[in-house]
Amino acid sequence: MIKYLTIAFVLILNVSLAQEKLNIVASASMISDMAEQIIGPLHDVEMIVAIGGDPHLHEPTPSNARMVAGADLVLINGLTFEGWITELIENSGTSAKVLTVTQGIQPLTSQTYKNSADPHAWMDVSNATIYADNIAQAMIQLDPKNTATYEKRLANYKAELVALDKEIEATIQSIPQQQRILITSHDAFQYYGKRYGIRLEAIMGISTEAQAQTADIKRVNKVIREQGVPAIFIESTINPKMMQQLAQDNKISIGGKLYADSLGDKDSPASTYVDMLRYNTQTIAAALKQTAEIDDSAHKNTTNYSFIIGLGVVLLLGLGLAIYLSNR
């Protein structure tokens, strides 16, 4: 009897403990990973845009609305990254606190759209420490009895971020200076470039909504030829066709797949925020350290054309001479 009572008691205790778990909902996978690092097993963290999805273009589903409705805290990047989120939050009728995790960072202005901020602030690891601080503060407010745990986990995570920041800087600096040019599909790496000293060129702007323009492709083609860029990169959330065409046209390689707006899945080398930044950096450095021949293909084409024109002139002269001789 006592045994059964104990079992019943343990079951009730488990249920009540389970009910105490809070629901934390993050818009994108990078933010949900940062939240998990700080919260650990204390509460549940879910993401709205699934791994591999494009948060710029996400279309909220009814299950997203239910997720937000049941949330205690909603974490968003802001800076117009998730253009659809305000409506989703309003329509869900949630009473959750909404935290913009970029609050307190110095936003960069978009290179393409003069009046808007560039949302990709997480690409600079020193900003990620601000994201982490903001998340930890919100958790302490929401769940003050676990303050010590949040503070400890935050300190450990920030130490990891500081080490990562130094590691990325050293890796990028190991690429010969004139080869530090990063060419991607969309302009997600401005914060990264500014922090770690690498020049950026992208076909599309800071959002993936706009179509690439012929002028943009010409501009990037020119950079590749003039600077002898050895490789360009595709992104995990964007169709690689355009970059593959650009690489083929310039006879250069695709340096690899970078993760900018989403983590990779569990089996990928970029399943956490820290791994994502580390993997991107190693991929970029390995590809850009190769040497490319500056303007080689253009040069070869010119040679071929002069040869064909020369041959044509010789044939015409020969023909003219033959007609002249036969008419004498």
| 281 in Cβ contact with 168 (< 8 Å) | yes
**Least CB distance to Zn ion at residue 12 (A):** 47
In the block, residue with structure tokens 């020193």 = 126
Closest CA to 138 of 153, 150, 129, 126: 150
Query: Which of 92, 236 has the CB closer to Zn ion?
Result: 236
* Distance, CA of 201 to CA of 232 (rounded, Å): 10
**Least CB distance to Zn ion at residue 251 (A):** 28
Q: Quick one: which segment of 91-99, 135-143, 176-184, 258-266 binds Zn ion (CB under 5 A)? A: 258-266
Query: Which of 55, 230 has the CB closer to Zn ion?
Result: 55
Q: Cβ–Cβ contacts within 10 Å for residue 34, how many?
A: 27
**Least CB distance to Zn ion at residue 119 (A):** 7
**What is the H or E stretch that residue 181 is in?**
strand 181-186
**Least CB distance to Zn ion at residue 81 (A):** 7
**Least CB distance to Zn ion at residue 206 (A):** 6
Is 139 a binding residue for Zn ion by CB under 5 A? The answer is no
Report the length, in residues, of the chain.
328
Site track 47-86 with Zn ion (rule: CB under 5 A), x = hit: ----------------------------------------
* Distance, CA of 58 to CA of 265 (rounded, Å): 18
Query: Which of 130, 204 has the CB closer to Zn ion?
Result: 204
**Least CB distance to Zn ion at residue 258 (A):** 11
Closest CA to 154 of 132, 138, 139, 134: 132
Nearest-5° Cα angle at 59, 55 to 61:
120
| 122 in Cβ contact with 55 (< 8 Å) | no
Percent of residues in the chain assigned helix, strand, coil, to nearest 5:
55, 10, 35
How many residues bind to Zn ion according to rule CB under 5 A?
2
**Least CB distance to Zn ion at residue 32 (A):** 17
* Distance, CA of 121 to CA of 123 (rounded, Å): 5
Which of 188, 204, 234, 288 binds Zn ion (CB under 5 A)? It is 188
Which of 79, 183, 261, 264 binds Zn ion (CB under 5 A)? It is 261
Query: Which of 138, 188 has the CB closer to Zn ion?
Result: 188
Query: Which of 143, 187 has the CB closer to Zn ion?
Result: 187
Q: Quick one: which segment of 10-18, 132-140, 253-261, 310-318 binds Zn ion (CB under 5 A)? A: 253-261
Closest CA to 108 of 97, 100, 117: 117
Q: Quick one: which segment of 150-158, 184-192, 216-224, 289-297 binds Zn ion (CB under 5 A)? A: 184-192
At 8, the amino acid letter reads A
Q: Quick one: which segment of 84-92, 135-143, 185-193, 307-315 binds Zn ion (CB under 5 A)? A: 185-193
| 127 in Cβ contact with 105 (< 8 Å) | yes
Cross-strand pairs, 183: 201
**Least CB distance to Zn ion at residue 280 (A):** 13
Query: Which of 69, 113 has the CB closer to Zn ion?
Result: 113
Q: SS3 for 21? A: coil
Query: Which of 183, 188 has the CB closer to Zn ion?
Result: 188
List the structure tokens of 22: 């809070």
- Applying CB under 5 A, the residues found at the interface with Zn ion are 188, 261
